């Protein structure tokens, strides 16, 4: 179901704005760790909605499935298990650290804005228009076909990276168990 | 979006929500009578014929109970939690097709709320959100048992989500689609086209080509819906009632409803992915025989009520009605299976549950993918 272009734009800005508000007031400035985590989940939702509005349905679904459905559940799980509260986190001790982080974030943001406005490289045109994607079997089919043909090397390298991560985490967990 | 699409969407959403809400009290009654049947008891038999109105009486009781929030709870999340559990339970059904296409006033109407390209990835992603409500409930209750229940629940759901997702990969490989309508359509192909006699009419259902995947998916679905033998998050003999211990009146009823709604969606998914969805071999022959009856009923209806037009295509309507009936019957069977298993098997111990999930189902589902790949390469399926 296609919305009119104007409506898509309006929704895009609404979701981006709401996501930004959740990120700022919920996650960064929030005091309660559980509330912070739930705000982050809501922000993922807003990002996913933006993806869906940009016709990237697969990214939207995976964004929710992986980030909101799996990774954040683990975050919340750990927060509850450690029963972390504001006292333990002791946010006040590093004002310098906070200021440094804020400075770096703003710097990164400024760099993004600058590179988008003044960058010379144009995105590689591979001829994928929304109509073409739809006629060749939809978003998912096109992504999977590209992933297993043109982009097989980066795909396999990423999976090796993930495998190394898994082996590493198992090794770390095992070492702790052997010490006991 | 034109006027017709808007009305069509509203009608379909309304129908699904209405039917799902009606299924819950029916299912509660079936569960209580079914358990009584299996245990040689009578079950509820006082309110109405065969105790059919017992659920209605329960609802009235839930609504009129005092609605209170315990003093030691985090009020905001305590009130939010039941809604967060209920919402994904309703949302997941949106992509399940419950019948074929009908042409109404020149528009082709799919009997499915949303035909998404990502198909059952949507179900997996929305379904994985139900755990947040359970976590919220357990954490906001500020009660040891509640917290234990929600910790168990989240650990269990994360563990079984993996094997559930991986067991579906086989289905995607065979039918080469994520769209549920496409998967249902491809399951109508014959399994062995060259087989003699009646054998040639066996459809290519997911169950026949993915038996291992089906067993893994079935068990994982039981773990995801927190039903016995995997109902450790509730575990009334160990942690009282788990995550909904501090909830009373209608708030408790919402958790209860979410469990049954999840069962409906799980049964619908099992039906659609592994048992041919709304299709059935020989359905078109039955539809032909049923068509005159539908046409006659439509004529009578419009002669009694002049504002109702006669159906232009009774053959399509006859087929759609039969398809919805077949779908409902298959879903009903799996709903009964939930009850059957619950009152037959004892509960797992926690370490057994984790061992089963990580050491049996996860390797098995990965092996299933490899074997399926080899079989497709050899051209067997």
Q: What is the 3-state secondary structure (H, E, C) of A62-108?
A: HHHHHHHHHHHHHHHHHHHHHCCCHHHHCHHHCHHHHHHHHHHHHHH
| B26 lies in some domain | no
- Give the mean pLDDT of B271-282: 84
CA distance A67 to chain B (A): 10
- A–B CB contacts, 8 A cutoff, strictly below: 73
Tell me the per-residue pLDDT of A56-78, one tens digit each, with 9 for 90 and over: 788 888 888 888 888 888 888 78
- In angstroms, the CA A47 to CA B168 distance is 26
Alpha-carbon distance of B325 to B331, in angstroms, equals 10
Contact at 8 Å (CB) between B225 and B130?
no
pLDDT band at A163 (very low <50, low <70, confident <90, very high): very high
Residue of B5, B88, B113, B125 to mutate for A, most A C-beta atoms under 10 A: B125
B102-117: average pLDDT: 76
Q: Which residues pair with B107 in a beta bridge?
A: B104
In a domain, B224, yes or no: yes
Residue B2 forms part of a structural domain: no
Task: Kindly tell me the burial class for residue B332, based on how many C-beta atoms sit within 10 Å of its own C-beta (0-12, 13-18, 19 or more).
Answer: middle
Domain assignment present for residue B81? The answer is yes
Q: What is the DSSP letter of B95?
A: G
Q: Which of A35, A33, A133 is nearest to A86 (CA)?
A: A33
Interchain CB distance below 8 Å, A80 and B157: no
Residue B126 lies in a domain: yes
B183-233 pLDDT, tens per residue? Answer: 888 888 877 777 777 777 778 888 888 888 899 999 888 888 877 787 777
What is the rounded average pLDDT for all residues in chain B?
83
B79 token code pair:
């009130």
Q: How many residues can be counted in chain B?
A: 381
ipTM above 0.90, yes or no: no
Number of structural domains chain B divides into: 1
B254 domain residue, yes or no: yes
In a domain, B54, yes or no: no
Q: Residue B344 — φ and ψ, nearest 5°?
A: -115, -45
Residue A123, H or E segment: none
Strand partners, B103: B108
Helix axes B362-378, B211-224, angle to 10 degrees: 150
Q: Does the residue B17 lie in any domain?
A: no
Question: Domain range holding B374?
Answer: 66-378
Give the model's pLDDT for residue A125.
Answer: 62
Closest Cα of chain B to A163: distance in Å? 15
Q: Kindly list the residues from chain A whose CB atom is less than 8 angstroms away from the CB atom of residue B178.
A: 140
């Amino acid at each position: 179901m296609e919305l009119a272009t104007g409506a898509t734009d309006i929704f895009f800005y609404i979701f981006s704005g709401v996501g930004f508000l959740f990120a700022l007031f919920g996650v960064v400035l929030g005091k309660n760790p559980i509330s912070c985590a739930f705000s982050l989940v809501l922000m993922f939702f807003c990002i996913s909605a933006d993806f869906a509005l940009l016709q990237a349905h697969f990214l939207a679904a995976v964004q929710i499935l992986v980030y909101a459905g799996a990774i954040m559940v683990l975050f919340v799980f750990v927060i509850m298990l450690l029963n972390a509260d504001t006292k333990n986190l002791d946010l006040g001790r590093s004002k310098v650290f906070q200021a440094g982080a804020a400075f770096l974030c703003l710097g990164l943001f400024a760099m993004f804005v600058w590179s988008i406005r003044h960058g010379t490289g144009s995105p590689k045109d591979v001829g994928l228009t929304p109509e073409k994607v739809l006629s060749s079997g939809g978003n998912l089919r096109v992504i999977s076909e590209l992933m297993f043909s043109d982009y097989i090397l980066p795909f396999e390298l990423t999976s090796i990276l993930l495998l190394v991560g898994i082996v590493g985490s198992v090794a770390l967990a095992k070492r702790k168990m052997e010490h006991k | 979006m034109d006027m017709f699409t808007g009305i069509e969407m509203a009608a379909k959403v309304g129908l699904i929500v209405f039917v799902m809400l009606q299924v819950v009290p029916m299912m509660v009654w079936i569960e209580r009578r079914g358990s009584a049947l299996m245990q040689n008891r009578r079950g509820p038999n006082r309110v109405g014929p065969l105790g059919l109105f017992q659920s209605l009486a329960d609802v009235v009781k839930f609504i009129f109970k005092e609605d209170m929030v315990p003093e030691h709870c985090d009020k905001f999340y305590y009130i939010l939690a039941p809604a967060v559990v209920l919402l994904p339970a309703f949302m997941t059904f949106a992509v399940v097709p419950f019948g074929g296409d009908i042409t109404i006033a020149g528009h082709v109407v799919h009997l499915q709320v949303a035909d998404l390209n990502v198909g059952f990835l949507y179900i997996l992603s929305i379904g994985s959100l139900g755990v947040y409500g359970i976590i919220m409930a357990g954490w906001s209750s500020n009660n040891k048992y509640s917290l234990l229940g929600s910790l168990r629940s989240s650990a269990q759901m994360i563990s079984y989500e993996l094997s559930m997702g991986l067991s579906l990969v086989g289905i995607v490989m065979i039918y080469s689609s994520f769209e549920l309508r496409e998967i249902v359509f491809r399951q109508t192909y014959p399994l062995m086209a060259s087989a003699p006699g009646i054998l040639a009419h066996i459809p290519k259902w997911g169950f026949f080509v993915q038996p291992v995947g089906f067993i893994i998916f079935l068990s994982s679905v039981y773990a995801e819906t927190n039903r016995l033998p995997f109902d450790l998050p509730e575990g009334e003999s160990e942690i009282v009632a788990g995550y909904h211990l501090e909830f009373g009146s209608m708030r408790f009823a919402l958790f209860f409803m979410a469990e049954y709604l999840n069962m409906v969606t799980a049964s619908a998914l099992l039906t659609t992915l592994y048992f041919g969805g709304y299709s059935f071999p020989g359905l078109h022959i039955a539809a032909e025989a049923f068509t005159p009856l539908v046409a006659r009923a439509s004529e009578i209806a419009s002669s009694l009520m002049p504002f109702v037009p006669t159906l232009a295509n009774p053959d399509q309507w006859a087929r759609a009605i039969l398809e919805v009936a077949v779908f409902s019957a298959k879903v009903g069977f799996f709903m009964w299976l939930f009850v059957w298993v619950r009152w037959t098997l004892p509960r797992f111990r926690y370490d057994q549950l984790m061992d089963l999930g990580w050491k049996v189902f996860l390797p098995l589902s990965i092996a299933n993918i490899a074997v399926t790949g080899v079989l497709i390469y050899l051209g067997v399926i």
